[in-house]
Amino acid sequence: MEVRVAMIGLIALTLACGTGATRADGSGDPTAATSEDGKYFDKAGNPTYKVQEDGAVDWYTYSGFRRYHSECHVCHGPAGDGSSFAPALKDSLKRISYADFLGIVASGRKNVTTAQENVMPAFGDNRNVMCYIDDIYVYLRARANDAVGRARPEKHDDRPEAFAKAEDACMGFKP
Amino acid sequence: MRKFLIGTALSTTAVMAAGSVYANEELIRLSQDAKQWVMPAGNYAATRHSTLKQITADNVGKLQVAWTFSTGVLRGHEGAPLVVGDVMYVHTPFPNNVFALDLNNDGKILWKYEPKQDPSVIPVMCCDTVNRGLSYADGKIFLHQADTTLVALDAKTGKVEWSVKNGDPGKGETGTSAPFVIKDKVLVGISGGEFGVQCHVTAYDLKTGRRVWRAYSEGPDDQILFDPAKTTALGKPVGKDSSLATWQGDQWKIGGGCTWGWMAYDPALNLVYYGSGNPSTWNPKQRPGDNKWSMTIFARNPDTGMAKWVYQMTPHDEWDYDGVNEMILTDQQIGGQTRKLLTHFDRNGLGYTLDRDTGELLVAEKYDPKVNWTSGVDMNKSSPTYGRPRVVSQYSTDQNGEDHNNKGICPAALGSKDEQPAAYSPDTQLFYVPTNHVCMDYEPFRVSYTAGQPYVGATLSMYPPQGETNMGNFIAWDGKTGKIVWSNKEQFSVWSGALSTAGGVVFYGTLEGYLKAVDAKTGKELYKFKTPSGIIGNVMTYEHGGKQYVAVLSGVGGWAGIGLAAGLTNPTDGLGAVGGYAGLRNYTALGGQLTVFALP
């Protein structure tokens, strides 16, 4: 079911975008258009990833890799590949937008039928998730667009000072 | 001695006490009848050995499928069915249905129990919605549901006799382990090590479900049921506040040490044995100290819960090496003396043999040669670090600090073995151990605690050891000397409990779905059959109508299902997997089936 929805989504996107766009996911073209303190945004203002020619990823993508594999992968599988009981987010992000993603993570969702019980909890008050929600999003967005592979990114940008400050404030860490 | 005890109970104490002794005697008697399989490991000593010998090394090649049964649930199927009299009891993962099947009538369903549980418990179960099975006593079947409800069902009708809540899923407390009956009590552990639960073992009255005692894994002495002067560790009294002194501040309150594994019981010593899991979080920097008594083998009096002795295998865990695996009780000769032994294959890659009366450490050796985080355990009794593993700095995720990616640690967090229980044959005096052969990168970082939310704090990548393609081995182990006798490679982790039989045959399942039979002496493969889904259940055997049967649950999932089913799928994906290695999903798919084998 999940796969079929994803495929319909893909077909729709392909039709809508025609042949002009090279890449598009649930939030549109993921190409980085602007950056602020080491964080990248697409032309619509959604957070996105940036991968250098030597394979180095931006700090937020790397941070997302780490937090994803701490908080999300036990259900959604390594590298967003899905598992026997939750969908592959690298596919889901091809059709859902940044706003949808935030909403689902914060509020959770249920898909309980006679054949399966898929239940995603609400993470809205979980700082380990919500303080890094953009990081997790850009990592999965990079996975959805095959910009990073399944393995741990070998190289990454340094941790920006703005990130460290925001992290301490959000997590309640004493600097 | 046992008769004398019954006599005393009848003549002096209340009728209730007499009933309790009978329940215990009944279980001992039933577990000695090889035709039945009345507790998760077949017997109190947890040997998973059967004296049935109709199926032998000579004829097992002719084994056939006798009958099958679909559980109707598509998730990880751990544990094994029970056979009591003419009835087989089959459990399922969430929603934890129970079926009673009539062995006299081709497995006709006598009754079905279908609990109604809030599905919001699903996402607080760490590693799939598994359940490790049922227990039987006193005409009742006991089930520990995902939502921590412990329920007693009438074995004849499936009617609920009593039920009690053992925890709060809202705090991340869940039920996955099998209950364990001793005398007039049902003992049960709890899961939630990735949610900062202060875990415990709790004993409930067999007849009523009334709570009798609860022993936490960490906390003040009155919560962990320790006597500072009498409870010992490696032969010495543990002293006051033995747990509290090893945690910073109140961290023990969210300390983990979960009790989701297996229990064993020695009726002569009147001690119950089990292990505790990882301290929460996975980031060791955030919880300084030894974090006692996580990662510990406990020997407790089942009547009171009081601990007689403890041994912490992995002080201040840095790798998620839960200590919950089975404790196998054997009597063997060491140095010309018959010793009462406890053998335990820990996640940390060491096979331990202890004196189960005193807790003396006799053997601690690697049961996978690739284990590299430790150079071994200090066995010098006069050393200040006696009994502690020597940690190799290169693989110390604590010494290397937060935000450092520690590469090539063996074993992976899955352990050299997880919950899949080993078997022991008194005929060969060998242990048959299903193992994982997986290494990892481990990067810890800071996390904050929110009740009922994951509390992990590390990211891991897993892969086979460098230069190897097999991610599992099935080994024979000599517990007296700590040596591997033979070892069979398996492409994937062997995540299925082994069965040893007096026919000289050892059985186990594989993640691809094969049930395999090997020669107990040599490990030579004698038979295999591919069941509909990967096997993470435990093989059991019984006799009915003069015929020996072997049964196993299929249904891939569990942690193996997360790490492997969705994991190493691409041979060139840079996770260290060697070319030609292909993922589990190319071999099997979800399922939920019981397959029963017999000779034609």
Read off the CATH number of the domain in which A96 is found. Answer: 1.10.760.10
- In the three-class reduction of DSSP (H, G, I as helix; E, B as strand; rest coil), residue B462 is classed as strand
Determine whether B320 is an active site residue. yes
User: Is B14 part of any domain?
Assistant: no
Q: Can you give the pLDDT at residue A114?
A: 66
Domain of B481 in residue numbering reads as 33-598
Chain A residues within 8 A (CB-CB) of chain B? Answer: 65-71, 73-75, 77-78, 81-85, 88, 108, 110, 112, 115-121, 123, 125-129, 149-152, 171-173
Strands B540-544 and B525-530: what pairing? unpaired
Q: Is the pLDDT of residue B577 over 50?
A: no
pLDDT tens per residue across span B200-226: 999 999 999 999 999 999 999 999 999
d(CA B176, nearest CA chain A) in Å = 16
d(CA B320, nearest CA chain A) in Å = 13
pLDDT tens per residue across span B256-280: 999 999 999 999 999 999 999 999 9
Chain B residues near residue A83 by CB distance under 8 angstroms: 561-562, 565-566
Do the Cβ atoms of B193 and B257 come closer than 8 Å? yes
Residue B271 CA to residue B257 CA, distance in Å, equals: 20
Per-residue pLDDT band at B562 (split at 50, 70, 90): low
Optimal mutation site among A111, A128, A143, interface B, most CBs of chain B within 10 A:
A128
List b or e across B191-203, with b for residues whose CB sees 16 or more CB atoms inside 10 angstroms.
Answer: bbbbbbbbbbbbb
Q: Do B450 and A126 touch (CB under 8 A)?
A: yes
d(CA A15, nearest CA chain B) in Å = 30
Q: Is the pLDDT of residue A171 over 70?
A: yes
Q: What is the CATH number of the domain that holds B437?
A: 2.140.10.10
Number of neighbouring beta carbons within 10 Å of residue A154: 11
Strands B149-154 and B140-144: what pairing? antiparallel
Q: Can you give the pLDDT at residue B459?
A: 86
Q: Which of B221, B290, B320, B322 is flagged as catalytic?
A: B320
User: Is B217 part of any domain?
Assistant: yes
Residue B123 CA to residue B169 CA, distance in Å, equals: 10
User: Is A140 part of any domain?
Assistant: yes
Per-residue pLDDT band at A71 (split at 50, 70, 90): confident
CB pairs under 8 A between A and B: 115
- In the three-class reduction of DSSP (H, G, I as helix; E, B as strand; rest coil), residue A101 is classed as helix
Q: How large a percentage of chain B has pLDDT more than 90? A: 81
Q: Is the pLDDT of residue B519 over 90?
A: yes
Chain A residues near residue B119 by CB distance under 8 angstroms: 110, 112, 117, 119
Number of neighbouring beta carbons within 10 Å of residue B407: 15
User: Is B4 part of any domain?
Assistant: no
Q: Can you give the pLDDT at residue A69?
A: 87
B95 touches chain A (CB under 8 A): yes
Please give the residue of chain A at the shortest CA–CA distance from B405: A152
Q: Is the pLDDT of residue B7 over 90?
A: no
Per-residue pLDDT band at B74 (split at 50, 70, 90): confident
* Averaged pLDDT score across all residues of chain A: 84
Residue A106 CA: distances (Å) to CA of A102, A131, A169, A171, B116: 6, 11, 19, 16, 27
Q: Is the pLDDT of residue B57 over 70?
A: yes
Q: Can you give the pLDDT at residue B404?
A: 93
Residue B260 CA: distances (Å) to CA of A46, A167, B70, B174, B256: 43, 34, 26, 9, 11
Count of domains observed in chain A? 1
User: pLDDT higher for B571 or A142?
Assistant: A142
Please give the residue of chain A at the shortest CA–CA distance from B452: A126
Helices (H), B157-302: 221-224
Nearest CB to A84 within list B450, B561, B569: B561
Chain A residues near residue B453 by CB distance under 8 angstroms: 121, 123, 125-126, 128-129
pLDDT tens per residue across span A17-59: 444 445 689 999 999 999 999 999 999 999 999 999 999 999 9
Q: Is the pLDDT of residue A144 over 80?
A: yes
Q: Can you give the pLDDT at residue B456?
A: 86
- Enter the ipTM: 0.77
Contacts of B221 (CB under 8 A, 6+ apart): B227, B228, B240, B241, B242, B243
User: Is A16 part of any domain?
Assistant: yes
Q: Can you give the pLDDT at residue B153?
A: 98
Q: Do B575 and A84 touch (CB under 8 A)?
A: no
User: Is A53 part of any domain?
Assistant: yes
Q: Is the pLDDT of residue A14 over 70?
A: no
User: Is A88 part of any domain?
Assistant: yes
Residue B241 CA to residue B223 CA, distance in Å, equals: 11
Side-chain half-sphere of B481: how many Cα atoms within 13 Å? 8
* Averaged pLDDT score across all residues of chain B: 91
pLDDT tens per residue across span B353-373: 999 999 999 999 999 999 999
pLDDT tens per residue across span B413-460: 999 999 999 999 999 999 999 999 999 889 999 999 888 888 888 888
User: Is B9 part of any domain?
Assistant: no
Specify the range with the lowest mean pLDDT, choosing from A116-125, B502-511, B551-560. A116-125
- Please return the burial class of A175, using the count of CB atoms within 10 Å of its CB with bins 0-12, 13-18 and 19+: exposed
Residue B89 CA to residue B112 CA, distance in Å, equals: 10
Count of domains observed in chain B? 1
Residue B555: closest CA among B144, B239, B132 = B132
Q: Which residue has the tokens 């435990």?
A: B538
Domain of A36 in residue numbering reads as 2-159
